[in-house]
Amino acid sequence: MDKKVRDLMNAQINAEFYSAYLYLDFANYFADAGLAGFQNWYMVQLQEERDHAMLMLKFLQLKGEHVDLEAIAKPDKDLSSALDVLKMGLAHEQYVSQLINDIYAAAQEAKDFGTTQFLDWFVKEQVEEEDTAGSLIKKMELFGSDPRGLYLLDQELAARVYTAPSLVL
């Protein structure tokens, strides 16, 4: 495997674990706010991000590459309102999309087709993640200022369950 691709993949493993940690922070914010549905939504996000990291880790291992785990940074976001948290979540997903795109571009440049094929799933996943986060912001902007609307949205988010990624290595 190309060194640049390997290094970017290792960095992405750390970024995925950071995402999980960030979403745990978001879940804690919503728990403190008494919004258990929003808390649940971000706990599911946490599980997804953790699994993304583990898929990348397993992929590197299958390729015979060294996995270099780094410290996970403490989230340093100022969580001041539910809407702000949701907007931070979308911005973070957009950032992760760019990281995935950077790895994909490096793999293409190195003619590492196995890695690009592996990353295809993540590229599609990020499109879905950004869409979902954006839709949640729109719902919050429409209904969040009305206590009944917020209650119903919280109930909707409480129904979300975790489904493991369908990507097979």
Question: 129 lies in a domain?
Answer: yes
The answer to the question of residue 112 being in a domain is yes
pLDDT at residue 30, rounded to an integer: 97
| Residue 123 lies in domain | 3-158
For residue 166, tell me if it sits in a domain.
Answer: no
Q: Identify the pLDDT of residue 165.
A: 82
Here the CATH number for the domain that contains residue 138 is: 1.20.1260.10
Q: Residue 48: inside a domain, yes or no?
A: yes
Q: Let me know: does 103 contact 9? Beta carbons within 8 Å.
A: yes
Is 125 a member of any domain?
A: yes
Number of Cβ atoms within 10 Å of the Cβ of 128: 10
Does 134 reside within a domain?
yes
Residue 163 lies in a domain: no
Look at residue 91 in the predicted model and tell me its pLDDT: 97
Number of domains in the chain: 1
* pLDDT the model gives residue 31: 98
Q: What is the pLDDT of residue 49?
A: 97
| Short-list 86, 95, 13, 82, CA closest to 45 | 86
> pLDDT at position 163, please?
87
In a domain, residue 73? The reply is yes
State the 10-residue block means of pLDDT for the chain, 169 residues long.
97 98 97 98 97 96 96 91 97 98 98 97 96 97 93 95 81
| In the chain, alpha helices (H) | 3-32, 36-62, 82-109, 113-143, 147-158
pLDDT at position 161 is 93
Q: Is the pTM of the predicted complex or chain greater than 0.85?
A: yes
pLDDT for res 166: 75
